Amino acid sequence: MKVIVIATRKQDAKPEEFAPHLDAEVKHALGMYRDEAVREIYSRADGKGAIIVLECDDIAQAEQLVAGLPLAAAGLLSFEFYGTKPYRGIVQYAE
């Protein structure tokens, strides 16, 4: 299952709070990509976080994966999780 994760910087977090975690965040995210848990990752154009596409069994696994990110562990981000399924139009008209 693909899970879309919207990560948002906490409004009360200061930029200098992020700096000590950024190198570890990049290394961890690249490790998740190498392990094929992360399919895609983007910085948000509004500068307020990231969008991550995960490949996992369910939302619970997605929550566990994201909890391992250093910025998540530091409490600097909040997350929204959206599970996906095939678009019904493709399934309906592919037959």
Please determine, for residue 93, whether its predicted confidence score (pLDDT) is greater than 80: no
The tens digit of pLDDT for each residue in 16-52 reads: 999 999 999 999 999 999 999 999 999 999 999 999 9
Asked if residues 41 and 65 have their Cβ atoms less than 8 Å apart, the reply is no
CA nearest neighbour of 6 among 55, 41, 57: 41
Confidence of residue 94 (pLDDT cuts 50, 70, 90): low
Residue 17: CATH number of its domain: 3.30.70.1060
Total number of domains in the chain: 1
The tens digit of pLDDT for each residue in 45-74 reads: 999 999 999 999 999 999 999 999 999 999
Give the domain extent around 35: 2-93
- Per-residue pLDDT, averaged over 65-94, amounts to 90
Residue 26 structure tokens: 């990049």
- The pTM of the full predicted model, rounded to 2 decimals, is 0.88
Residue 35: what pLDDT? 94
